[in-house]
Structure 1
């Protein structure tokens, strides 16, 4: 579905446009007299007597070619609620044959720019679909022309468009099949983002071996594809302040390795790189909107395959940090990729904080379903900021415990630690506890386990099913509210 937004000064002169008009929660029409003909006004006033005013969107067929659509705004409406209204609008009218709409910005007396921006933002986010490999594509278009003397600021247009582009890029990456978006191809795609002003460095297997990133390399050694660490730097601050760091797990396909997964639903493991896709989409968004911060994105890209050279259960590997890990289960691979990436990010960039994202454990889905990402952190301030940002954009996180008492579950008799807890229980927490061991210099750190959030079979408020792009808007909000 294509969404086209136009902006024009003055009233709509095209009487055939479907009209979108905002009203209060009681559907009071008094403010609309200047924007409707007398016949339209009388017609709607009469029909309102028969309508369910508990609905947020009401539609009236004025004639065979024109609808008048009233969108109800309650008092003190929140931005995310306005975005949800935009998404509902899309769902209701996406199949309409007459798909040209006019929207008047002058009707809203308070914060009209924000209301319209958020409404259109929600509409666009909901409209996403991945049809790249379909021979017959959806050619429907929705065209919305925003009329009125009140202009939407240029900054708002740029900001929302950048967030959408970043979110869509993340969704595109997650939606790609494993035979297309393997680590070699993924690294090449990230490199193309340098045209937006990002500084990109790609570390291939030769460089990674020299650096000693053996936990990351061990995961990918059974695949014919390469393994990579890719860094993306955005320097948008005028000073040389410490960057904000975002680290993502990029397992492009996860068979489980020698500890092979069951065949049922293994096709979903194309999205085991969603954490990295969020980081890539976020960095693209920051560059597009020229965010006034310094930031770095780091992703580890591997494919976990059961080849003749694959890592075995019982292997012991030495990480970039110098700590050794006994591999008891090759399907607990994401934490091995992140281990080297986290230590390298902390040592190389000395960031203000590190947030990592990964589809790390099925256990987090048992705990939180598809409503919250699991948040684990060594820092209360950063945790509270993430919780607040998540509430603002409805990409929610729930803080889970970390405690030294969990360490005994991942201590190994043969190495510094083992990569899984064989005793049972606390699967997500012991995975996070493992990651925390690779934060060496007490840098504020948060781990987001997004296994239940990255992909949705049934869709959500702002997505129609499939890859959600969860995390791009959350982290953008974190940056916007607390660090710009």
Structure 2
């Protein structure tokens, strides 16, 4: 498992600058004003730092951006990284500045001169997130960064603020690792085992096997995985940090460890990316890990449906009719619309067993949401305006793009089946919305519910501000913030 780079916080030590190996990163405001450590650094560099700050190159930098001064005279460091951060910078800009440093850490160590930066803890969080690198299957020399030290005016206060953020970074890394893993490694067995191991953090973890799922009547979920050699499972994780007996928030994750499309098989080009079709389950798992690590004062239950969608002689066919745990029958028009079948049964089970105060499901559910929103925003659907608005505020506060999508009876009518209670797809037009309408049929009227379609945000083909290309961990920060704001304050 990947872990965030350890960051230590120390008081300013101007005398250590000359001999510091690796990289030196200096945070400078838009006016180029230097503090005590910066002035010492400039003196050691024989005025080269001040000359750069007076140049057009520094002037063109935006807040959170940086430039390198390579092999500076008078220092042992390989580079001095000058990071511009406005005096009135917000949390997002501080994280961006940290990410600029985290993207270029040195094997010999990195010393960050943050002096009196307002959001120093958030800067360290951005640094940790951007330093992520998935190297589990690389056999060559791994570029492990050396010690990272933040020199700040009040190290103990900053370290205290950074503690919960370190737990959050662990959760994001856990999600990224799960989403990045190949399907021959992250089987349903392996996924369940990784979640069971979190019992040592204080989570209560149960694994429901196929025999139990059959008894519960989860025909929709079981139909998806019947063509795979890997058995379907549902994993239930409970964190009981709130008041005893208080109804929990339920988080539901789609965990299709690989999606061929089944008999409705996908095109070969790009199918390798379907290792990420368990992204919703990955986010739920990362949130539960975060809550346990930071000892959250909330009751939250995370449930993930783990299946593999494969085409073999036993696989589900287009035209099959399956019966959900709720009792509704579903005509399977397209076996590649399998995630909603998994979620339907797990959502119903969560409501039946836990009677949650609210329910949020996450899934890499539709390509249609990518057509609608690209890779900048997750599609948000809800039956409850107040609950939805709380989530959107949390996502905005954490800088995770989210956009509410419409729902309505006209979309729902597209799911009408000739031979069953409903079809699992409603045509190409409005595909992300009809998928949400399908899921809403498995939400009890009294349950506040949000559906998050993360197909466009779970994994990216290029770097983002806080992550290298690949898995982003989108949603862990937003959901953690929602839980803090709704239950812990």
Instruction: Give the TM bin, normalised by the shorter chain.
Output: over 0.9
* Distance in 2 between residues matched to 1:226 and 1:30, nearest whole Å: 60
Paired with 1:278 and 1:404, the residues of 2 have a C-alpha distance of 30
Specify the SS of the correspondent of 2:8. strand
Separation in structure 1 between the aligned mates of residue 32 and residue 146 of structure 2, nearest angstrom: 25
Runs of at least 4 residues off by over 6 Å: none
Q: Show the 5 A alignment for 1:75-474.
A: 75-91=87-103, 93-94=104-105, 96=106, 98-105=108-115, 107-108=116-117, 111=118, 115-150=119-154, 151-422=156-427, 424-474=428-478
Q: State the Cα distance separating 1:417 from its structure 2 match.
A: 0.5
Is the 2:12–2:37 Cα contact (8 Å) retained in structure 1?
Answer: no
CA RMSD of aligned residues (A): 2.1
The alpha carbon displacement at 1:50 in A equals 2.8
Distance 1:31 1:51 in 2: 24
Gaps of 5+ in 2: none
Alpha-carbon displacement from aligned partner over 1:265-303 (angstroms, at most 9, x marks no partner): 111111100100100011001100111111000000001
3-state DSSP class of the match of 1:74?
coil
Q: Match of 1:70? A: 82
Post-superposition Cα deviations, 1:399-421, rounded to whole Å, max 9, x if no partner, equal 11110121210011211111011
Whole-Å separation in 1 of the counterparts to 2:42 and 2:260? 63
1:5 aligns with: 7
Question: What SS does the corresponding residue of 2:6 show, helix, strand or coil?
Answer: strand
Once the two structures are TM-superposed, the CA of residue 173 in structure 1 deviates from its matched residue by: 0.8
State the shift of 1:146 in Å. Answer: 2.6
Question: Cα gap change, 1:339/1:20 in structure 2, threshold over 3 Å: closer, same or farther?
Answer: same
How many residues are treated as equivalent by the alignment? 475
Cα drift, residue 388 of structure 1? 1.5
State the 1:310 CA deviation. Answer: 1.0
Q: Distance in 2 between matches of 1:267 and 1:331?
A: 15
C-alpha displacement of 1:35: 5.2
- The alignment's TM-score, normalised by the length of structure 2, stands at 0.92
Q: Is the partner of 2:455 in helix, strand or coil?
A: coil
- Distance between the aligned counterparts of 1:211 and 1:265, measured in 2? 36
- Which has the higher mean CA deviation after the structures are superposed, 63-72 or 399-408? 63-72
In 2: Cα distance, 1:453 partner to 1:38 partner: 46
CA distance in 2, matches of 1:278, 1:32: 40
Q: Give the 3 Å change call, closer, same or farther, for CA 316–43 of structure 1 in structure 2.
A: closer
User: C-alpha distance in 2, partners of 1:317/1:89?
Assistant: 52
Mapped to 2, the partners of 1:274 and 1:69 lie a distance apart of 35
Q: Structure 1 residues 101 and 440, CA, compared in 2 at 3 Å: closer, same or farther? A: same
Structure 1: distance between partners of 2:160 and 2:385: 32
**Unaligned 5+ runs, structure 1:** none
Q: Secondary structure at the match of 1:141?
A: coil
Mapped to 2, the partners of 1:76 and 1:149 lie a distance apart of 18
What's the secondary structure of 1:283's corresponding residue?
A: helix
Number of the residue aligned with 1:16:
19
